[in-house]
Structures are given as structure tokens and as C-alpha cells.
Structure 1
């Protein structure tokens, strides 16, 4: 492995962890509750066509230097919205829909952040 490749792998551990976590959720979900998992990932697939969501995710991943803030902020927004759903304030949203949004945002932000690391290290 070249030094540049090692540098990217070391800097982008969180990015790979997020992408692996999405893959693990998909695999484990297919074994435990395939209907729910399929519904969430179908919704996530449909959300990819909502370009504003994808652009926001890419912007977050590419232009915010501290990627941990993006991850923590996305998860905190998800938890806050789920609490509001359970409290009956957001009656038009479902937890499954929000989880699909979280998957899309974190996935695209991770890929954009990986590309930023790639560009910075000149590979």
C-alpha cells in the first residue's frame, strides 16, 4: 500500500464505519425483519431522486471539515424528530421514513467526505 492510500484509510475511518454500518443494517434486517428493512430501503431508494436531499448531504460531507459534527448532527436530528413523532407533534412522519432519510444523508455525506480526502491527498 502506498503512503497516500494509508493516509486516506486512516483519515476516513468514520466514513468507512458508516458505510459498513449501513451494509450491516441491510444484511441483519433481511434476516430479522425483511418486510420492514425492504420498506426502509425502498423509501431510501426513492429519496435518492429527491435531488435537494442528495445535494444537502453531499455539501455536508464535502465542505464541513469536521465530519464527526455531520454524523452527530444527523443522528441528533433523527433522534429529536423521532421523539417529536412519539410525542404526537409530527403526525405526518414515520420513524421508518426518517430512518431512510438518515441512511441517504449519511451515505452520501460519507462518500462526499471520502472524495474530499481523496482530493486532498492527491491520489
Structure 2
């Protein structure tokens, strides 16, 4: 395998893991809890049309040098929001909506970060 390709794949393995997990969630969710999965993915589809969320995710993925911090921060924000939803503080949010936000954010941030690494590849 080409040395440049090995370098890019080693830099971007977290991106592939995130995108793979989103795919696994989609497939396994259809078998285990299809109602929740459909709700999450319909909400995620609607969130993509909210361009400010997409721009924020792309900015996080493309311009934050340590992508692990983006992933950890997004997951920590998700966990915090779910705890506050369960505590009754965020009465206007639902867990499936926050999960859809997490998926859209991590998905677009992963693609933007992957593109940043892909730009280094020269034929």
C-alpha cells in the first residue's frame, strides 16, 4: 500500500470509526427499536436543512486540530443534555432530538476532518 495512503488512513481512523458507528446504529436500530431509529433519522434529516448546525459541525471538524476533543466534547454535551432532560430541566427537548443533533454534528465534523486529511493526498 502507498505510504501516503497509510498515513492518511492512520490519521483519519477516528473519522471512519464515527461514520461506521452511525451506520451500525442505523442498521441495528432498524432491528431492535425501529420507531426510535426512524424518529432519530427523520429528525436528523430535518436538522441537515438547518444550515447553521451543519456549518458549526463542519467548522469543528475542519479547524479544530485535535479531533478527539471535538468527539469527546460532543458526546459530553449529549450526555449532559440527556441528564438534564431526565431531570426535567429541559422539558422542551427529547432524547431522540438531542441524539439526532449528535449524529448530524459528529457526521459532518467527521467528513470535514476527513476531507482535511484527504487534501494532503497527492497522486
TM over 0.5: yes
Category of TM-score, reference length = shorter chain: over 0.9
How far has the Cα of 1:2 moved from its partner? 1.7
Q: Detail structure 1 runs of 4+ shifted over 2 Å in the superposition.
A: 120-123
Quote the Cα distance in structure 1 between the aligned partners of 2:122 and 2:46: 34
How far has the Cα of 1:122 moved from its partner? 3.9
How far has the Cα of 1:15 moved from its partner? 0.3
Partner of 2:101: 101
Quote the Cα distance in structure 2 between the aligned partners of 1:91 and 1:122: 50
Matched, 1:87 2:95: no
Quote the Cα distance in structure 2 between the aligned partners of 1:29 and 1:98: 16
Count matched residues. Answer: 123
Instruction: Give unmatched runs, 5+ long, in structure 2.
Output: none
TM-score (norm 2): 0.97
Deviations 1:64-107 (A, max 9, x none): 00000000000000000111111111000000000000000000
RMSD, matched Cα: 0.9
